[in-house]
Amino acid sequence: MKDMTGDLEDTIYTMSLEADKVLQNVIHRTPLVTSLTLSKMIGANVYLKLENLQKTGSFKVRGAYYAIWRSKKEKDFSLCVTASSGNHAQGVAYASHSLGLSSIVVMPIHTPMIKVRSTEGYGAKVILYGDTYDEAYEKATSIAEERNALFVHPFNDPKVIAGQGTIGLELLRDLDRIDSVIVPIGGGGLISGIATVLKKRRRGIKIYGVQASGSNAIYLSLKHGRLITLDRVSTIADGVMVKTPGDLTFKLISELVDDVVLVDDDEIVRAILFLMERCKTVAEPAGAMSIAALLANKLSVEGNVVTIISGGNVDMPLLVRIINRALVLERRLVKLRGILPDRPGYLKKVIDIVARVNGNIVTVEHDRNSLELRPGVARVEILVEVPSVEVVNEIIQALKKRGFNFKVA
């Protein structure tokens, strides 16, 4: 296996060098920026590779374009077909259009509408099919076979992996010393490409992968030493919802990646809010996973640490829910619940106390009809924005002094 993997590494590395030239005037050479706040928190020099600022909003265009470009040199075809939860779809659509080809993209039915519309905007025909990527994949491969089209795999293709590996080449040009790189993992194409290039040039660089706990096929496959297929996947990070890893990516990750850790949805949500507030950048859930691992202390790192912000295609309604969830987790959006006498003026007294202690009331719910309540009282729930956890305690204590017993719901 190691000999086979070595040959695969050499092939991908060589193609990555070619892809770097091919993509020169096609993609953005995305910024590598520092985060002083995160660096202080982690105790290392943390850099962010902002692939959320890439054309089509994610790194996927790199692999898609190079795979189609190279395949076009090898054989004749006029149609590209793929399956994707969104980012690879946009990459294939953009690349196909740029190279004068048609494209069909099969996407899971729950794909965020921003990704569907963007893919159509790049000229692709979109078919919504299946609940997961794997179901969409089966549909797409059958279409490709029927239409004699090129099927562009999202991750388990040496050409696609090589295209993603160009990120590693950019990192080497932008940073003199790299101690570790943290990469989100779905099917494994991104980390396989980056790891292949970096380990080929500087074997001592540590490569860490991050998977969502609700979609952890690579993590389990590494633990068991064989490919594991999940019965189901469930995570807010739709970009990494993959039931079965690729055999090629599994080989490369097994050989080249130093560790893979898991993050849950709440840790991802907190990372998205952190990136928005402290780094002034918007990442989709999958794109924030490397930051989630650092903030949740899942990795011990030092020196120069690069985090890959892999994409920024987040549906706006979802982003609103993410922000609200993050504020609740951070105790900056708090629901207070208490019982009051159902008489005029009591609710106003509570509202006045909350306002005096710097709480901003968002909503008030007043229920006097529940069978759980005795006559003459009402249950009150107040959703309050607060600047810090300390203010929550101040509000509760201020209410208590006036005889009102409220708790965090």
* Other beta carbons within 10 Å of 153: 24
Torsion angle (degrees, nearest 10) of CA 313, 110, 241, 48: 10
Q: Which of 208, 172, 204 is nearest to 301 (CA)?
A: 208
- Alpha carbons 94 and 284: distance in angstroms, whole number: 20
- Report the SS3 class of residue 344: coil
- Alpha carbons 157 and 88: distance in angstroms, whole number: 13
- Exactly one of 35, 55, 58, 60 is catalytic; name it: 60
- Exactly one of 16, 221, 290, 310 is catalytic; name it: 310
Tell me which residue has tokens 């995160």. 38
Tell me which residue has tokens 């932008």. 174
Cα Rg of the chain, angstroms: 25
Q: Which of 250, 255, 262 is nearest to 189 (CA)?
A: 250
Amino acid identity at 405: N
Q: Which of 179, 253, 193, 171 is nearest to 217 (CA)?
A: 253
User: Would you state the structure tokens that stand for residue 404, as one six-digit string?
Assistant: 């009102």
- Alpha carbons 3 and 80: distance in angstroms, whole number: 32
Q: At what angle do helices 316-329 and 265-278 cross, to 10 degrees?
A: 100
Q: Which of 215, 203, 114, 102 is nearest to 150 (CA)?
A: 102
- Alpha carbons 261 and 151: distance in angstroms, whole number: 31
Q: Which residues are paired to 209 by β-bridges? A: 183, 260
Burial category of 4 from C-beta neighbours within 10 Å (exposed 0-12, middle 13-18, buried 19 and up): exposed
For residue 310, indicate whether it is catalytic: yes
> Residue-wise over 299-331: b if at least 16 C-beta within 10 A, else e?
bebeebbbbbbbbbbbbeebbeebbebbbeebe
Task: Give me the active site residues, please.
Answer: 60, 310
